Amino acid sequence: MEQKVKEIIQHYHGDKSYLVPILQDVQKEFNYLPKDALCAVSTQLSVPISRVYEVVTFYKAFSLKPKGRYQLSLCMGTACHVRGAELIAGNIESILGIKEGETTEDLEFSFETVGCLGACALGPVLVVNGEYHGHMNIAKSTKILKKLGKKGATDDDQD
């Protein structure tokens, strides 16, 4: 882990002002920000761990907990909201049995709502591991979860 962090920091020439992008790259590498990685960043950049922690907890993009195998992000931008994204969020939460921002215990699914993705023509938009699914509705979201192997997601193949 320390070696990996070292490589990332070297890419930014050890410049402290790049703390946010460095942490983004670390998160990309490990899928979340493990404590040991944060300590390594702190030591190698000579930034106090309290400062690193402050930054990590300030910005929304960072997660201190591991994320699921399937990461679902539902756009909650205004355009998606007025097109009924909230009902879709309710459906996903009830099927997965978790709230927005949480991960299922088996580490299969993470569900989060995000600000605008800028694909408003497709709204509401659900992103599954980086893949966009547009014109989302309740039935389609059920279908996607079923396809990903979530038990209890029933649908009647209506689209």
Partner 1 sequence: MTTKIKSFDELKSIQERLKAGRDPKKPCITICVGTGCLAYGTQKLVDNFRAELAKRNLTEKIGFRTTGCHGFCERGPMVVIAPDKIFYQRVGLEDAAEIIDKTLLKGEIIERLLYVDPATGQKVTREDDVPFYKKQTRLVFGLNSKVDPESLDDYLAIGGYTALGKALTGMKPEAIIQEVIKANLRGRGGGGFPAGWKWDSTRKAQGDPKYVICNADEGDPGAYMDRSLLEGNPHLVLEGMIIGAFAIGSSQGYIYARNEYPLAIKNITLAIEQARQAGLLGENILGTGFNFDVKINRGGGAFVCGESSALFASLEGRAGEPRAKYIHATDKGLYDKPTNLNNVETWANVPFIIDRGADWYASIGTAGSKGTKIFSLVGKINNTGLVEVPMGTKLREIVFDIGGGIPGGKKFKAIQTGGPSGGCIPEQYLDMGVDFDELTKIGSMMGSGGMIVMDEDNCMVDVARYFTNFLVSESCGKCVPCREGVRRMRDILADITEGKGQEGDVELLEKMAAAIIDGSLCALGNSAPNPVLSTIRYFRDEYEAHIKHKRCPAGVCKALILYSIDPEKCTGCTLCSKVCPTGAAAGERKKAHAIDKALCTKCGACRESCKFDAIIVR
Residues near partner 1, by CB under 8 A = 16-21, 23-24, 47, 51, 54-55, 58-62, 76-79, 81-84, 87, 90-91, 94, 114-123, 125, 132, 134, 137-139, 154-156, 158
Q: How many Å apart are CA 153 and CA 140, to the nearest integer?
A: 11
Which residue lies nearer to partner 1 by CB, 39 or 138? 138
- Please give the DSSP secondary-structure letter assigned to residue 32: S
Least distance (Å) between residue 156 CB and partner 1: 4
Q: How many Å apart are CA 36 and CA 21, to the nearest integer?
A: 18
Which residue lies nearer to partner 1 by CB, 3 or 28? 28
Least distance (Å) between residue 127 CB and partner 1: 9
Least distance (Å) between residue 18 CB and partner 1: 7
**Cβ neighbours for 122, distance < 8 A, ≥ 6 positions apart:** 132, 134, 135
Supply angle C-alpha 147, 150, 152, rounded to 5: 115
